[in-house]
Structures are given as C-alpha cells and as structure tokens.
Amino acid sequence: MKREIISKLQRIVGKNQLTTTPEELLCYSYDGTGREYPPDAVAFPADTAEISAIMRLANAAPFPVVPRGAGSGMTGGSLPVAGGLVLALSRLNRILEIDEKNQLAVVEPGVITGHLRDAVKCRGLFYPPDPASLKFCTMGGNVAECAGGPSAVKYGVTRDYVLGLEVVLPDGTVIRTGVRTAKGVVGYDLTRLFTGSEGTLGIITKITVRLIPYPAARKSFLVQCRDIRQATSLVTEILAAHRPCTLEYLDRTALHIVRDRLPFALAPDSQALLLLEVDGDAGAVAIQAAALHEFLAEKELPAIMRAESAAETEALWAARRAVSPAAFTLKPHKVSEDVVVPRSRIPELVLFVEELAARHGLTIFTFGHAGDGNIHVNIMLDKSNPQEAAGAETAAGALFKEVIRLGGTLSGEHGIGITKACFLPLELDPASLAVMQGIKKFFDPNNILNPGKIFPGPGCPKNN
C-alpha cells in the first residue's frame, strides 16, 4: 500500500487509529479457520462518515477493504486474502437504542452479540440468535454471515430479526434499508440482500433488530438413544407436536470421545444423545415439559434425564460442551464443516460420515442442530501429516457432494467465505451464480470490498 494512501487514511481516521506494524497486522490476519493473510494496514474508524471517506478513497485508488468484527468467523469471511486494508469495526460498539414499547434495538456493528442479549434481558426482552461464539462475536459479523445457533429451531436465525440497516456502499454512498416497524414491504428487500452477503456488498454501520419477550422459564432433557436412527425419528416426532427451543444431537463417535468426561454416567447401550429444551411462560413450560416427558417415557430409550435446576441443566450441556476439548486430545487439528440436510436424512449423512472416516483412517464426529438438520461435521487430523491432510480434504469434498445429493445445502450458519467457494457450483446452477456475480458487480464494480469471497476463483479445481 502506497505511502500516500497511508497518509490519506491517517488524515481520515487520525494517526493513532491506523496501524501498519507487523505485530499488529498479525492480530488482524486470522479468523476462526486458523488461516492467516496479513493485511497492508488496519484502520479503526470512529463512525459512518469516516468509513464512507475510506471507501471513496479505496474505490478511487483502488485497494481492497475487508470489514472485520471479532474475527470469529469459521469460513474466512474477514480474512484479507488480497491484502489491502482491514476495517476493524471495534470502535463502533454502542447500543444506540433499546425501545421497550416497540420491542426493538438499534446497535452499531461492533457490539458483541452477548452484550446485546444481556442488555435487553434486563428490560425483559430477548434477542434469540445464539451462535456458539456469542460471548465474543459481533452483531455486524452475525448479520454479514446470517448467524444461527441452537435456538434457531424455534426462533429462527439472524435474518429473522434484522429489521433495517445503515450500509456504506463500496463507493462511499451511505444508504438506509428496511424499517423500524414490525412489518414493511416498500421496494426491494435490501435488508435481507445485505444479510448473509459476507461483507461483499456493503459495510454495515447500524443494525435495527426486533426483540421478543424474554421467556421466563426453560426445561431441559437429555435423551439417550440407541442409535442415530432412533434419535432422528424422535426429532421428527417431537417437532410434529412440540416447539422445542433446543434440539441438539451428538453422534456415536462424539459420544465415544466424551463418555469418560461427563458429570453423569451414560447407559451402556446409549449411542446417540439428544439435548432438548422447551421455554416460555413458567406455566406453559411446565405443561410442555410434562407432555414431552410422557411422550419420551413411552419410547424404548436407554435413559431420559431431566434437569430440575440450573446446575442440572449445566450438567446436561456438559456433554455437548465437552466434545471439542476432548477431541483435541486425539489430534491437534480440527476441520469443522457446517452443512444442512433435510432433517429426515440425518441418519444417512451420519452413516456416510462414519464410512468416510473408516475409508480415510480419520476420526470424524458430528453434532449439531438436529431440529433443523444443521450438522457440524468435525474432521480430526494432524496437519503436519500429509496423508491425513490430504485425506481430510478429500473427505470434505465427498461430504459436500453427499449433502447436495441428500437435498441439503453447503452452509446453515457459517457462510461460504473462502473455505467453500470452490464448492459453490455443486449447489448453485450456473444461472443463479451468474445472477449473484452480476449483483456483486453492480454494487462493487471495482471489486474492492472483501474480494475473493463466496465466488469460485481461478484457483479452484475444474471438477469439484
């Protein structure tokens, strides 16, 4: 990046809010994928006006600009793969408004999702999206990737809560999209077009989200199943009559990994787990939980555990939480793939993964959001072992093909970023892909905003 550009950037954000020192660049070069691409500079703008000025400069120069929240993304969305400027949005971290009467909040993109959830909870309100990273990920990143979480099975994903946005376009123009009312159908839905666009169409500088009443009560069950088929068929039956707010599963391999680390004993014939929760008003939850318990008790299950206190609920969640730490005792690296299949086809996918693991001599376990078929497939490996590294790559490719064959989709909540860009043509027909590329070109003709993301590049193999 030219000296002259650096000077101009310094004039926009102030000398102290721009860095080019290698140590600091390093801190903004990686994300949840573990991959590293150092930028040429990192700017810490104070507000929308500074971001707009930066984009005008970048578009004229031109140089790449990569917006960044907490860097917790799992597919490389915030990585400066083409160098250029990282736009760190950490100073735009204010909750601007919580409107209790109309049940909405307006936040800046750097607000940590968990902070928003806590702030509105104090007013009896609930912001449901709950990505696993909610204690450190940011609202801007959540909107950019359309983050989900366990509660999506009942409450939906980020897209379902974003009412409106303020966005700086690649040429520096500032637009406002959407509404601050419960409904609105005026013109094209730019709000949802930006949501999930992975920072490639504009930089989100304000977010208006809708809120709902905080559910006062919650009851949790841990259901030990004989196998994944029994677990999945329970999921289908449960969802036909109940509206759980959590419906997570662990497969046989995951269970094997954590079996000795749990604060409770598993039944010997337990080969799959379901973690099941209902929430709402205290009275209604008691009725729902009783109905669920009755339903479960009629099934031939190895065990049903019901949490009666917060501590007991924590113990049940321990199974899910123990998986990742335990897995790293097997191998030093984990490749985690977020895929979705129609939930009735979960058993087929899990069996496919077991065969895949055997074929490549790898440990692969799955867990995730059984209620919406959103499965996290985790491949354990030692990256310094070329055979394992190659096997993991081949296995991931085979997994994606199987997901599409089962009527699924390549990502439920992590996005495409760089890690899945080459596989996009597996899912999207060429005409859809051309439409998306046309939209990118319309918004960003000079391809300066987060280049190299989503779309397959020249480096992709010809036949995925």
Q: Identify residues 260-289 at the interface with its own copies (CB under 8 A).
A: 280-281, 283-284, 287-288
Helices 228-241 and 346-360: angle between axes, nearest 10 degrees: 150
Quick check: 341 and 405 in contact, CB under 8 A?
no
Residue 242, interface with its own copies (CB under 8 A)?
yes
Residue 130 has φ and ψ, to the nearest 5°, of: -135, 65
Residue with smaller CB distance to its own copies, 51 or 266: 51
Residues touching its own copies, count (CB under 8 A): 89
Closest CA to 264 of 318, 311, 328, 324: 318
Residue with smaller CB distance to its own copies, 221 or 423: 423
Residue with smaller CB distance to its own copies, 45 or 196: 196
Residue with smaller CB distance to its own copies, 282 or 390: 282
Residue 348, interface with its own copies (CB under 8 A)?
no
Residue with smaller CB distance to its own copies, 233 or 385: 233
Residue 310, interface with its own copies (CB under 8 A)?
no
Residue 103, interface with its own copies (CB under 8 A)?
yes
Q: Identify residues 54-93 at the interface with its own copies (CB under 8 A).
A: none
Residue 51, interface with its own copies (CB under 8 A)?
no
Could you tell me the smallest distance in angstroms from the CB atom of residue 449 to its own copies?
A: 14
Closest CA to 407 of 339, 336, 337, 338: 339
Q: How many CB atoms sit inside 10 A of residue 395's CB?
A: 22
Q: Which of 102, 329, 387, 464 binds its own copies (CB under 8 A)?
A: 102
Residue with smaller CB distance to its own copies, 26 or 182: 182
Biggest alpha carbon distance in the chain?
73
Say how far apart CA 19 and CA 190 lie, in whole Å: 33
Query: DSSP of 83-108, one letter per residue?
Result: -SEEEE-TT---EEEEETTTTEEEE-
Contacts for 69 with CB less than 8 Å, ≥ 6 apart = 78, 89, 109, 110, 137, 138, 139, 140, 141, 144
Q: Identify residues 389-418 at the interface with its own copies (CB under 8 A).
A: 407-416
Q: Identify residues 140-199 at the interface with its own copies (CB under 8 A).
A: 145-146, 148, 152-153, 156-157, 159-160, 169, 173-177, 179-190, 192-193, 195-197
Q: Pattern 317-346, binding to its own copies, x per CB under 8 A?
A: -----------------------xxxxx--
List for the chain the helix, strand, coil content (%; round to 5): 40, 20, 40
Quick check: 116 and 107 in contact, CB under 8 A?
yes
Could you tell me the smallest distance in angstroms from the CB atom of residue 300 to its own copies?
A: 21
Contacts for 263 with CB less than 8 Å, ≥ 6 apart = 315, 318
Residue 61 has φ and ψ, to the nearest 5°, of: -60, -55
Could you tell me the smallest distance in angstroms from the CB atom of residue 433 to its own copies?
A: 7
By DSSP bridging, strand 85-88 and strand 41-43 are parallel
Q: Identify residues 194-233 at the interface with its own copies (CB under 8 A).
A: 195-197, 201, 212-213
**Token duo for residue 234:** 């329970």
Q: Which of 240, 265, 297, 311 binds its own copies (CB under 8 A)?
A: 240
Could you tell me the smallest distance in angstroms from the CB atom of residue 337 to its own copies?
A: 13
Q: Which of 428, 447, 456, 460 binds its own copies (CB under 8 A)?
A: 428
